[in-house]
Amino acid sequence: MRSLITRRAVIASTAAALLGGALAMPQVVHAAPTPLTEASAVRALAAEFGDDRTAGVYRNETGRLVIAVTDQATAQAVRAAGGVAEVVKYSTAALASIHTTFDERVADVGPIPNTSWGVDPSSNQVVIDIFDGVSAADEKRLRELAAGYGDAARIEELPGTLQAAADIETRGGIGIYPKDGVGYCTLGFNVRNSAGQKYFVTAGHCANTADDRWWNRLNGEHYLGKRIWWDYGGIDKDYAVMEYKGPEAVGPPVVAYGAVTAFGKDYEIIDSRYPTDTDSVMRAGAHSGDLVGEVLSPSVTVTYIDGTTLKNMIKTSLCVMDGDSGGPMWNGVEALGITSGGNRIDEECRSSTNDRVSYYQPVHWVLVHHGLHAF
């Protein structure tokens, strides 16, 4: 038996030499996965792993969409699918639970005006904003509640009070006006239903009256249409849907950027979606003009100075002023939000301002809820 084994080894060695080493195992090279760049695809991938293994989606400094995950195994799976992953401490479920606790604990004793809170995926924290006008007792209560969650919650102090952007003195400008011509707001997005009937959306607090509030363009010179639905705080929302009725009302699927300046440009809007944390966004307002900023949190709870609490609002770094209410916020060809309010809305917006924030009703929710489409 020993000689047979030796003979077989000699034959194998000779064959390998004759074939120039062809018997060696080939090296396997795996193709790199195709990078995921579409926000919808990245969010869908994150959803596959669930709220216990992920912690939201945000854009990093290079502009890439990042899925925050809670363990290395999930990070490897995300990367294998073409995504960018970052391992963080707290999951979406954990942070959402903190957000809900703030909602419930504060609701037990009544709303705290001039506050907002929500999950910030880019910092993996719940951020609690405290503006001017919050009492010492309420601030102490919020700080104690936040302290109970360690580094999962962070307090931010910001100047000014929070108001819906049409609540104080209204002034002239390009916008939409109610039937009586008192005050003005900004038209948000033109939309349609499946039958082709056209509507436009604006802020709910603009349409907060007992009548249907017929709307006009240019302070009553051109009739646009009438309100068919509105809500401000009733279901934690701030939006109104207006049906076009005026014979001159065309309602093209565009937003005018630069309408208050000499440099106007139309942007076509063909779709809507929910925002992603740190998305770059644009907004237009009838009073203050137009600005570019970013999403600071895709879902926060905000309480304005009048005590109205709104949930699931979009928080951004943009500045707004009175009269900007209802105006559009978008990214590319996609509608994102309807201007609701912000801090220091009676002060001019300047490019150097870095302590202004504003809040927006997610327009995608409105359109889905009412069977409408952004063309």
User: Mean per-residue pLDDT for 40-67?
Assistant: 92
Which stretch of 72-86, 94-108, 233-247, 322-336 has the lowest confidence by average pLDDT? Answer: 233-247
Q: Which residues contact 326 (CB under 8 A, 6 or more apart)?
A: 166, 176, 185, 186, 187, 188, 201, 202, 203, 206, 240, 338, 339
Using alpha carbons, select from 288, 292, 308, 307 the residue that is nearest to residue 361: 308
- Quick one: pLDDT at residue 151? 97
CA separation for the pair 308, 326 (Å, rounded): 17
| Segment 103-153, tens digit of pLDDT | 999 888 889 999 999 999 999 999 999 999 999 999 999 999 999 999 999
Closest by Cα among 247, 229, 246 to 238: 229
Cβ–Cβ under 8 Å, residues 159 and 343? yes
The whole-model pTM stands at 0.80
CA atoms within 13 Å, Cβ hemisphere of 148: 10
User: Hey, is 258 helix, strand or coil?
Assistant: coil
Written as one string, the DSSP assignment of 21-64 is: STTSPPPP-PPPPPPP--HHHHHHHHHHH-TTTEEEEEE-TTS-
**Please, what is the average pLDDT of the chain?**
84
Q: Is the pLDDT of residue 246 over 90?
A: no
Of 76-90, 97-111, 177-191, 230-244, least confident by mean pLDDT is 177-191
Token output for 70: 């809670």
Across the range 263-272, mean pLDDT stands at 79
